[in-house]
A and B are shown apart, each in its own frame.
Chain A
Amino acid sequence: MTDGNDAEKYCGNCDSHNSYEYPIKVFCSTRYGKNKNPIVDTLWHCEDYNKVSQECYCTREALKKKNGDKATQS
């Protein structure tokens, strides 16, 4: 469901996230409330995405880790 055209739309930028496995996984309280699996990727997003920045480093660090992993693989 991640929209590649809108790189800002990440769970790590959503107001429903808390750290779960920093920085790659977050706990989503909105999904928990809807009885859905609340553990999601920091760089994912869903239809309930609500950007209210927590000014945290989750997205930055998750992107760094993802790019670092890619670099390691290549």
Chain B
Amino acid sequence: MERKDYLQTPVKHIKIDGALTVDKLMQQFNGSGALGAGRLATACNIYEKMLKDKDCTIFLALSGAVVPAGMRTIITDLIRKKLVDIIVSTGACMVHDAIEAVGGHHYQGGWAVNDQELYKYHLFRIYDIFVPEEDYVRLDFKLSEMYDNIAAERKGESLASNEFAWEIGKRLTDENSILRAAYEENVPIFLPAVRDSEFGFIHWLHSSQENKKPVLLVDAFKDVPTICNICAKSPKNGMIVIGGGVPRNTIQSSALASKKGLDYAVVITLDRPETGGLSGSTLEETVSWGKMKGHADHVMVIGEALMVFPFIVASVTERLGESFRRNPFLHFENQIKESKP
């Protein structure tokens, strides 16, 4: 690099006028190109590029309080509008989706509260969000019935986690549910850590009932060839990560195992790289593993996802316009729907 190469694009000052839409503000951020605003604008540009790339399969990784904090409808709409192709989620994110699908709620609360008192009232706290225990328990009761039903249909055959997600989605009726939308739209949801959620712990209750048979069997290893084949068949792969953890690693490792490497990556996180943990690891580090291509379009937005992700979606959908229709490169057959109407 020569000295002049470092001085190509001056920072433009952000101008706020009275008729500023989300995307117009994002264009102002893009003109600044600095700090968090610059990263956020870059994330929008990369997501737009992914959506316009006819060869790209878009993975969305979900972790943390996506649903409790209020982003459930955003995810459901992305699925229904075909603006994401594959979801890889913690079990917990989908548990919270299912809680609302069966009539439960998450409540605005606070973080400076008496947690011992919350415990006595059977209320759970997710930072400044409250969830009543009965909303979990009502889901548990319904899930146990679903597990009985699925196990009876499967007759001892195990399910991959993505099949499990569609089976649950099939049995929910809430149109705003992520699981229901994914089932209806044939969007796979992989739950690589499904056991580490209420889905897993209710399995204990389901399987420990007297004379219980058949028992629902979920085989996490069954997911691996499926998700790796998706990466392999898709000419390009992109990921958007909310948080990190197991969902991010699953996408990245699938890209590596399929010898493709990611072509696009947007990661929204507050985690730091110094711990050596995956959630905060830089995308440059990802390149060293071969999980992302060295020339991939990528950015890490350091921020809290509830403030960041809605801006990205609002900005990009605004610039694409109402008439934008995306035809995903890959289409998935839903055997669960077809074989058991």
Contact = CB atoms under 8 A, between A and B. Distances in A.
Contacts, number: 46
Given A29-B205, A33-B209, A35-B210, A19 B144 contact: no
B209 A19 contact: no
Interface stretch (A3-11, A54-62, A66-74): A54-62
A71 to B, nearest CB: 23
Given A29-B205, A33-B210, A35-B211, A21 B120 contact: no
Interface residues of B, number: 17
Interface string A41-58: 000000000000001111
Do most interface residues of chain B lie in helix, strand or loop, or is the interface mixed? helix
B134 A33 contact: no
A38 B134 contact: no
B210 A20 contact: no
Interface in B122-158: 122, 132-134, 137-138, 140-141, 144
B230 to A, nearest CB: 38
Contacts of A55: 119-120
Contacts of A35: 209-211
B206 to A, nearest CB: 9
Contacts of A34: 209-210
A18 B208 contact: no
A27 B137 contact: yes
Given A32-B144, A35-B210, A19 B205 contact: no
Contacts of B133: 18-19, 22
B6 interface: no
A59 to B, nearest CB: 11
B200 to A, nearest CB: 16
A38 B210 contact: no
Contacts of B211: 35
A56 B137 contact: no
A52 to B, nearest CB: 15
B134 A21 contact: yes
Contact of A19 (B134, B141, B210): B134
A1 to B, nearest CB: 20
Given A19-B132, A22-B134, A27-B141, A33 B205 contact: yes
A20 B120 CA distance: 14
Contacts of B141: 20, 27, 38-39
Contacts of A18: 122, 133-134, 137
Best-buried of A19, A20, A21, A29 by chain B (most CB within 10 Å): A19
Given A18-B133, A21-B134, A35-B210, 8 more contacts: A18-B137, A22-B122, A22-B132, A22-B133, A32-B205, A33-B208, A55-B119, A57-B120
Interface of B: 119-122, 132-134, 137-138, 140-141, 144, 205, 208-211
14 contacts: A18-B133, A20-B141, A22-B133, A27-B141, A32-B209, A33-B208, A33-B209, A34-B209, A34-B210, A55-B119, A56-B119, A56-B122, A57-B120, A58-B122
